[in-house]
Amino acid sequence: MITTNLTGESLSGSQTLLGDGSELIAVAPAGGQSLPGTFRNLSRAQATAVIEKAATAFGPYAKLHPHQRADFLDAIADELESLGDPLLERANAESGLPMARLTGERGRTCGQLRMFARVVREGSWVDARINTALPDRAPLPRPDIRRMLVPLGPVVIFGASNFPLAFSVAGGDTASALAAGCPVVVKAHPAHPGTSELVGRAIAAAAQKTGMPDGTFSLVYTDNEVAQAMVAHPATKAVGFTGSRAGGLALLRVAQARPEPIPVYAEMSSVNPTVILHDALQERGTAIAEGLAGSIVLGVGQFCTNPGLVFLTRSDALQSFLDTLAQKIRATAPATMLTPGIRDNYSRGIGTLTSSPDVMLLAQADTDARPDHTEGRPAVMTTTGAAFRANPALSHEVFGPSSLVVVCADETELATCIRQMEGQLTATLYATESDLSNTAHDWVLILQERAGRVLFGGFPTGVEVCEAMTHGGPFPATTDARTTSVGTAAIERFARPVSYQSFPDALLPLALQQANPLEIWREVNGEQSKES
Amino acid sequence: MITTNLTGESLSGSQTLLGDGSELIAVAPAGGQSLPGTFRNLSRAQATAVIEKAATAFGPYAKLHPHQRADFLDAIADELESLGDPLLERANAESGLPMARLTGERGRTCGQLRMFARVVREGSWVDARINTALPDRAPLPRPDIRRMLVPLGPVVIFGASNFPLAFSVAGGDTASALAAGCPVVVKAHPAHPGTSELVGRAIAAAAQKTGMPDGTFSLVYTDNEVAQAMVAHPATKAVGFTGSRAGGLALLRVAQARPEPIPVYAEMSSVNPTVILHDALQERGTAIAEGLAGSIVLGVGQFCTNPGLVFLTRSDALQSFLDTLAQKIRATAPATMLTPGIRDNYSRGIGTLTSSPDVMLLAQADTDARPDHTEGRPAVMTTTGAAFRANPALSHEVFGPSSLVVVCADETELATCIRQMEGQLTATLYATESDLSNTAHDWVLILQERAGRVLFGGFPTGVEVCEAMTHGGPFPATTDARTTSVGTAAIERFARPVSYQSFPDALLPLALQQANPLEIWREVNGEQSKES
Q: Are A26 and A194 in contact (CB under 8 A)?
A: yes
B453: nearest CA in chain A?
Answer: A499
Site from A501, A525, A527 to mutate, B interface, most B CB atoms within 10 angstroms: A501
Dist. CA B110–CA A486, nearest whole Å: 39
pLDDT, residue A532, reads 85
Residues of B in Cβ contact (< 8 Å) with A133: none
Q: What are the tens digits of pLDDT across the range B92-134?
A: 999 999 999 999 999 999 999 999 999 999 999 999 999 999 9
What is Dmax (Cα atoms) for chain A?
81
**B33: left (phi > 0), else alpha (psi -120 to 50), else beta?**
beta
Q: Which of B194, B236, B256 minimizes the C-alpha distance to B35? A: B194
Contact assignment for A504 to B456 by CB distance below 8 Å: yes
Q: Which of A508, A120, A493 minimizes the C-alpha distance to B468? A: A508
Percent of chain B at pLDDT exceeding 70: 99
H/E segment holding residue A77? helix A66-82
Interchain contact B291–A (C-beta under 8 A): no
Long-range contacts of A441-449 (CB under 8 A, 24+ apart): A441/A411, A441/A412, A441/A415, A442/B59, A442/B63, A443/A275, A443/A277, A443/A415, A444/B507, A445/B59, A445/B62, A445/B63, A446/A415, A446/A418, A446/A419, A447/A273, A447/A275, A447/A418, A448/B150, A448/B498, A449/A474, A449/B153
ipTM of the shown complex: 0.97
Q: How many CB atoms lie within 10 A of CB B389?
A: 17
B437: nearest CA in chain A?
Answer: A507
H/E segment holding residue B17? strand B15-17
Dist. CA A474–CA A496, nearest whole Å: 21
Report field, pTM of the whole predicted structure over 0.90: yes
Q: Which of A149, A50, A70, A157 minimizes the C-alpha distance to A113? A: A70
Q: What angle do CA A135, A139, A144 make, to 5 degrees?
A: 30
Q: Are B280 and B400 in contact (CB under 8 A)?
A: no
Interchain contact B450–A (C-beta under 8 A): no
Contact assignment for A466 to B142 by CB distance below 8 Å: yes
Q: Which of A411, A406, A409, A357 minimizes the C-alpha distance to A380? A: A406
The stretch B14-38 carries a mean pLDDT of 97
Interchain contact B129–A (C-beta under 8 A): yes
Contact assignment for B501 to A475 by CB distance below 8 Å: no
H/E segment holding residue B342? helix B340-355
Q: How many residues does chain A have?
A: 532
Dist. CA B30–CA A441, nearest whole Å: 56
Per DSSP bridges, beta strands B10-12 and B15-17 are: antiparallel
Measured in whole angstroms, the distance separating CA B319 from the mean position of its chain's CA atoms is 36
Interchain contact A436–B (C-beta under 8 A): yes
Per DSSP bridges, beta strands B238-242 and B264-267 are: parallel
Is A267 one of the catalytic residues?
yes
Interchain contact B519–A (C-beta under 8 A): no
pLDDT at B532 over 90: no
Q: Which of B7, B55, B41 minimizes the C-alpha distance to B185? A: B55
Dist. CA B68–CA B233, nearest whole Å: 28
Does residue B239 sit in helix, strand or coil? Answer: strand
Q: Which residues contact A111 (CB under 8 A, 6 or more apart)?
A: A77, A465
B526: nearest CA in chain A?
Answer: A467
Task: Output the CA–CA distances (angstroms, integers) from residue B91 to A203, B242, B298, B463, in the order listed.
Answer: 60, 18, 18, 21
- DSSP assignment of B139-191 equals SSPBPPEEEEEEE---EEEE--SS-TTTTSTTSHHHHHHHHHT--EEEEPPTT
Q: Read off φ and ψ for residue A184, nearest 5 degrees.
A: -125, 135
Contact assignment for B507 to A444 by CB distance below 8 Å: yes
pLDDT, residue A1, reads 45
pLDDT at B237 over 90: yes
Q: How far is B327 from chain A (nearest CA, A)?
A: 26
Q: In A, residues 180-219, which contact B (CB 8 Å cutoff)?
A: none
Q: What angle do CA B524, B528, B532 make, to 5 degrees?
A: 55
- DSSP assignment of A89-122 equals HHHHHHH---HHHHHHHHHHHHHHHHHHHHHHHH
Contact assignment for A482 to B497 by CB distance below 8 Å: yes
Give the residue ranges of chain A where pLDDT is below 70: 1-4
Task: Output the CA–CA distances (angstroms, integers) from residue A466 to A432, B124, B441, in the order listed.
Answer: 28, 20, 40
Contact assignment for A453 to B153 by CB distance below 8 Å: no
pLDDT band, very low/low/confident/very high, at B1 (cuts 50, 70, 90): very low
Q: What are the tens digits of pLDDT across the range B172-224?
A: 999 999 999 999 999 999 999 999 999 999 999 999 999 999 999 999 999 99
Measured in whole angstroms, the distance separating CA B380 from the mean position of its chain's CA atoms is 26
Interchain contact A476–B (C-beta under 8 A): yes
A418 by Cβ neighbours in 10 Å (0-12 / 13-18 / 19+) ranks as buried
DSSP assignment, residue A189? Answer: P
Contact assignment for B63 to A442 by CB distance below 8 Å: yes
Interchain contact A422–B (C-beta under 8 A): yes
Dist. CA B482–CA B136, nearest whole Å: 39
Dist. CA A224–CA A235, nearest whole Å: 19
**Crossing angle of the two packed helices B99-122 and B66-82, in degrees rounded to 10:** 170
Q: Are B405 and B284 in contact (CB under 8 A)?
A: no
Q: How many CB atoms lie within 10 A of CB A200?
A: 25
Residues of A in Cβ contact (< 8 Å) with B521: 528
pLDDT at B139 over 90: no
Whether the link from the prior residue into A139 is cis, omega within 30° of 0, is yes
Q: How far is B431 from chain A (nearest CA, A)?
A: 11
Positive or negative, the Cα torsion across A361, A366, A368, A373?
Answer: negative
Measured in whole angstroms, the distance separating CA A121 from the mean position of its chain's CA atoms is 24
Contact assignment for B504 to A456 by CB distance below 8 Å: yes
Q: Which of A169, A190, A215, A179 minimizes the C-alpha distance to A70? A: A179
Interchain contact A229–B (C-beta under 8 A): no
Is A417 one of the catalytic residues?
no
The stretch B299-304 carries a mean pLDDT of 96
Helix, strand, coil share of chain B (percent; to 5): 40, 20, 40
Measured in whole angstroms, the distance separating CA B118 from the mean position of its chain's CA atoms is 20
Interchain contact B141–A (C-beta under 8 A): no
Find the CB nearest B143 among A458, A481, A500. Answer: A458
Interchain contact A62–B (C-beta under 8 A): yes
Q: What angle do CA A45, A50, A53 make, to 5 degrees?
A: 125
Find the CB nearest A452 among B457, B476, B497. Answer: B497
Q: How far is B123 from chain A (nearest CA, A)?
A: 12
Residues of B in Cβ contact (< 8 Å) with A261: 252, 475, 479
Q: How far is B98 from chain A (nearest CA, A)?
A: 17
Q: How many CB atoms lie within 10 A of CB B468?
A: 30
Q: What is the identity of the amino acid at A481?
A: A
Residue A58 forms beta bridges with which residues? none
Dist. CA B16–CA A496, nearest whole Å: 41
Does residue B313 sit in helix, strand or coil? Answer: strand
Contact assignment for A499 to B468 by CB distance below 8 Å: yes
Interchain contact B523–A (C-beta under 8 A): yes
